[in-house]
Amino acid sequence: MAGTGAAPGLGHAATDARGRGRAPGGGGDHRSPQSAQPAHRARRRPAGAGCAPDVCQPRLAFSRGSRSGGRADARDDPTAPPAPWRDRGLARASRSGLAWLCPRRGGRPPAPRHRARGRRVMMLRTRLTLGISLCFVAVTAIVALEGRLRLSEAEHRFERAEIAGNRNAWTGVASAELRGLRDELSALPNSDAIVQALADPARLAEGSAPDPQPFLADLLERIRLRLPGAHLEVVRADGSVVYLSHPGPVRFLSGSRLAAVLATTQGISGLVGSPTVVVGAGAPVFTRLGAAGAVALVTEAERLLPEVQANTAASVSLLSPAGLVLAQQDGSEGEGGANPGKGQPPSPWPGDVAQIIQAPDSGGLVRVSHAGRMIESTLLPLAAIDGERAAVLAVSRDITPAWRRAVVLSSLSYALVGAELALFLAGLFWYLRVSFRPLNAAIRVLNALSRGDTSVQGLPTTGQDEIGRLARTMEIFRRNQKLLAETSAAKERIDSELSVARDIQSHIVPTTFVFPGHPEFDLHAVMEPAKAVGGDLYDFFLLDERRLFFLIGDVSDKGVPAALFMAIAKALFKNEAIDREGTLAEVMGRVNRQLTLDNPSEMFVTVFACVLDLDTGIVTYADGGHELPVRLSPEGRVEVLKKQGGLALGFMADYLYTTAEIHLAPGDALLLYTDGVNEAMNPEHEMFKVERITETLQGNVAASGGAAQIARTLLGAVHGFAAGAPQSDDITILALRWKGPRALVGAGEQGREA
């Protein structure tokens, strides 16, 4: 630095060198013409009443960009993406519920969102009604199914009991008849008259044996006194008939049955069918020579039907295996049907003969509608002595009245279930509609709150049920929403003010790095605050045609207080360096004294202030506790310089600062930075450190990179190291490369031009 007498001349020279960058009145903006802003960019309209400042303000900036021709209006190009700052402001206003206050929305509340066209939305009440109805129908169906199964099981039990009863009725009558036949038959094989009747036919022809016919006829008459309708059969062992009282086509003692009788000692009894059905009992007749023949008593099965009908109180029919009526006994008047003739299909089952024939051996029950009547018939297959089916016994009842009553009761049951379901659904719908009225009111309140209307009236909060608790919760939500709206509005104002402060701070530091007529050096600086505004600072300006003043600093805090303190410190340095006499150490002392005496917040700032002699490359510096500078050589080496320590400004008003020098060779670069660079952290909480600064810049960047390349390379390395981790401190980088004296640099440029 020059002596004390250089101060007035330095201030005047600074005015001549950069007079175009200063306002005529002095103390104004010291930036160069390239950094001056148009007047309309410096003026800002105040936020309108009721409009969130950060929402409306971007609209003004957007309009200015359109008028100045620097940026086309996105509304003119539907394919252009929306500006991020414009979306952020609108998004913040939308989240706070104040977007409808913004003039961009025309001062109208946003229209409610309608459901998508063609998409049906089922209401909760409808879903509940449908779900409960399905559950009710399912339970009803299960109960009905269980009832139907129980009824079916009861019907099966009734059918089995009916079949068993009818079979017992037939079995009882047939057994009694067979027992009587066997009792009468028991004395006949031992009768001498029967034995003589079975004598050799030759003897009968010679007349040596009496004719058996009168005796057998008389015997039959005596038997019929006890067994009306009985018939007598007497047959020799060779099959020749001795006596046959019935002319029917069915004989008991013939074929296999005769052989079976002769093969036994007690005889056999049972049914014989096809084409007629008879009940009979037969026994062998023995002589001294063996079985001479057999005798049998039979009666027609038709004679048993009246007694069976009396026991069952139903119409009884005896059917052949082919389905033709062999015999039929009607029940009481009104039951059964027309009595068909023998050999005709049974009248109650027209067209259903196959059903009867296919009835199982254990019997079955069928219902047939005939002539407007419902006939229920029990079909009992009757087995013959030889195991074949002799006939089918059909016990029929007219169940039309009971069937009609069952149909009516079933219809009434279904109607009652349907009516019950309809009443249940109607009651459920009404109950849910009444119960959901408070919920619908709550939805209206929430819709109003979503539009930002916090004046809407809530629900009564006195109830202790779910609606009362919901109402109290909604009232708390309404109050919180109102408080949120107020807080959001305040935050929007603060954000808008911080945005303005950020713009102001970005223009407090110089942004133009070109010095016309001074090819001796190349200078560039970058600054990124950790918050909206920061406490880092840098400045540079010419003291005269030979000396360049530049500095970098870091305020002890961040945010708005640090930004204000930074602005004060920067202004003091510029005023003290240009307008007053003194060395660099004296400038540091005067600035320190002013910052210390008027510092109620006890803030401080670290500063590294330098003056570069453009002809010699000597950098005179004063250190205020700042970070170590770095020198980059044309050979690509990076060197961290040791410096003379000093106290940060703002601690001691009477602290005396000293100066030292750094000698730069032509092509050397000097890098200054704040602690936001070397103390930057990655997600693993590792710091960037000075070692990474040297590793980043050594090589081509240190050798031939311009000041802008040096600063941007280091800034990019810091961002890459942080890997998205939040920025913990302000980052400021100032790079200066001294190319050499003006005469040497000018001659080199003229040689390259030639």
Nearest to 395 by CA among 314, 339, 279, 506: 314
Token pair of 60, please?
């003004």
219/366 same-domain check? no
Residue 744 resides in a domain? yes
Domain end marker among 378, 398, 418: 398
**pLDDT, position 582:** 82
Q: DSSP characters for 35-47?
A: G---HHHH--PPP
Residue 687: beta bridge partners?
Answer: 681
**pLDDT, position 608:** 96
654/623 same-domain check? yes
606/536 same-domain check? yes
**Sign of the CA dihedral running 136, 139, 145, 146:** negative
Q: How many domains does the chain divide into?
A: 3
Domain of residue 588, CATH code: 3.60.40.10
Residue 683 resides in a domain? yes
Nearest to 663 by CA among 623, 632, 619: 619
Q: Average pLDDT across each block of 10 residues of the chain; the chain has 754 residues. List them in order.
A: 37 39 40 40 41 39 38 43 43 42 44 53 78 86 88 86 88 90 86 77 63 84 88 88 80 86 87 83 86 88 88 85 80 45 52 52 73 83 83 86 88 89 87 78 80 73 72 80 85 81 80 92 94 89 94 89 90 89 90 90 93 95 94 92 90 93 94 95 94 91 89 95 91 95 72 52
623/709 same-domain check? yes
Nearest to 296 by CA among 283, 279, 287, 285: 283
Domain of residue 174, CATH code: 3.30.450.20
335/257 same-domain check? no
For residue 574, the enclosing domain spans 509-753
Residue 208 resides in a domain? yes
| Separation in Å, CA 27 to CA 19, 30, 589, 690 | 12, 8, 21, 38
**pLDDT, position 459:** 66
CA distance linking residue 527 with residue 486, whole number of Å: 34
609/725 same-domain check? yes
In 667-707, DSSP assigns E strands to 669-673
* Contact status, residue 498 vs residue 533, Cβ threshold 8 Å: yes
* Contact status, residue 466 vs residue 438, Cβ threshold 8 Å: no
Q: How many CB atoms lie within 10 A of CB 246?
A: 18
Residues constituting the chain: 754
684/551 same-domain check? yes
180/325 same-domain check? no
* Residue 177, helix vs strand vs coil: helix
Run of H or E including 229: none
Residue 265 resides in a domain? yes
Residue 486 resides in a domain? no
Token pair of 69, please?
């021709």
For 665-668, the CB contacts below 8 A with 24+ separation are: 665/617, 665/633, 665/634, 666/617, 666/634, 666/738, 666/739, 666/740, 666/741, 666/744, 667/633, 667/634, 667/737, 667/738, 667/739, 667/740, 668/617, 668/631, 668/632, 668/633, 668/634, 668/737, 668/738
**pLDDT, position 7:** 37
**pLDDT, position 209:** 61
695/586 same-domain check? yes
297/353 same-domain check? no
* Contact status, residue 231 vs residue 246, Cβ threshold 8 Å: yes
Residue 93 resides in a domain? no
Residue 131 resides in a domain? no
Domain end marker among 303, 326, 353: 303
Residue whose tokens read 């960019």:
41
Give the max Cα distance, the chain: 195
Token pair of 392, please?
């089918």
Q: DSSP characters for 559-620?
A: SHHHHHHHHHHHHHHHHHHHHS---HHHHHHHHHHHHHHT-TT---EEEEEEEEETTT-EEE
* Contact status, residue 398 vs residue 373, Cβ threshold 8 Å: yes
Predicted TM-score (pTM) of this structure: 0.45
**pLDDT, position 43:** 41
220/317 same-domain check? no
- CA dihedral (12, 16, 20, 24) in degrees, to 10, reads 40
617/728 same-domain check? yes
**pLDDT, position 679:** 94
Residue 660 resides in a domain? yes
CB neighbour class for 135 (10 Å; exposed up to 12, middle 13-18, buried from 19): exposed
**pLDDT, position 539:** 96
Omega before 275 within 30 of 0, i.e. cis: yes
Residue 661: beta bridge partners?
Answer: 620
Domain end marker among 372, 398, 424: 398
